[in-house]
Amino acid sequence: MTGELIAGEGNRLYYEQCGNPEGKPVVFLHGGPGAGTSAWHRRFFDPEQYRIILLDQRGCGRSVPHAADADGDLRHNTTWHLVADLELLRRNLAIEKWMVFGGSWGSALALAYAEAHPSSVSEIVLRGVFTLRAHELEWFYEGGASAIFPDLWEQFLGPIAVLERGRMIEAYHRRLSDPDPAVHVPAAIAWTRWEASTLTLRPDDDLVQAMTDPRAATAFARIENHYFMHRGFFDEGQLIADVGAIRDIPAVIVQGRYDVCTPAMTAWDLHRAWPEAELVMVPDAGHAASEPGIARALREATDRFAAGG
């Protein structure tokens, strides 16, 4: 069943429900920000046990206005708008509490939402933890990860003039904000290809091709860059500092050992601050939820919570 959430500032957000209408409610928070949801995201939940809710966040997927379009204004697209959207959706669906499940950017949004509304959350499942601290962004977008992927990094540098390469996020922001498609589309594809090419332990050409579709890549890159320019609209270290609000909520953190996009240091820092949350370090995986070991660990977590464990 699909629906449309009428959010503020003219946003109409696509959502869908599947699985058991009487089952345990869970909301899936996609990554990016700006990636949108896909049908395969349902596979992390037993459809006989869960009432599964997938939501396309502001500006992407099947929500409108779309960030790839001329009217895709991002002024009202912040973490706290998304948190309010989630709480509005929960209330509209008459759900008392739901499990919050998020990976990559979705893990940051899950933490922000749960810390703001702990009484609305029954359990938390996180994957590839990302909290948008300055050193996390600098690692992946300002040159740190080039030590592992120098060839791919060189492609990422390509659209940027040499004198601008000291601040890559800002340099891309200028191009992604340009109204001329001849400027912003190639920049969006280059930005998105860098991430898509580094998500998995082994290269996945099909994933890269899907993510670099021009329209999807434009929304993805514009929204992601907008959030990174604003450090996720968080104070530095806020999400980890505020875990006291959610310490009593059962939680599992799943992290790929060889995750280059969101390295294990962040999951480890979160776990140290929140030892009650179980940390599952997958020894043979990168970042993507589609990695076999990560997918298996996520399904084990949701199966256990469905059974009351």
Q: Is 271 a catalytic residue?
A: no
239 and 111 in contact (C-beta within 8 Å)? yes
CB neighbour burial string for 112-135, b if at least 16 within 10 angstroms, e if fewer: bbbbbbbebbbbbbbbbbbbbbee
Q: Is 104 a catalytic residue?
A: yes
| Catalytic residue list contains 146 | no
In sequence order, what are the beta bridge partners of 280? 254
DSSP letter at 129 equals -
Nearest alpha-carbon partner for 125 in 261, 52, 26, 53: 26
DSSP 144: G
CB proximity list for 195: less than 8 A, separation 6 or greater: 211, 224, 261
With 0-12 CB in 10 A as exposed, 13-18 as middle and 19+ as buried, what is 111?
buried
DSSP 120: G
Buried b (16+ CB within 10 A) or exposed e, 60-76: bbebbbbbbeeebebee
CA distance 271 to 264: 11
* Active-site residue, selected from the candidate residues 63, 204, 259, 271: 259
Catalytic residue among 66, 81, 85, 104: 104
Residues tagged active-site: 104, 259, 287
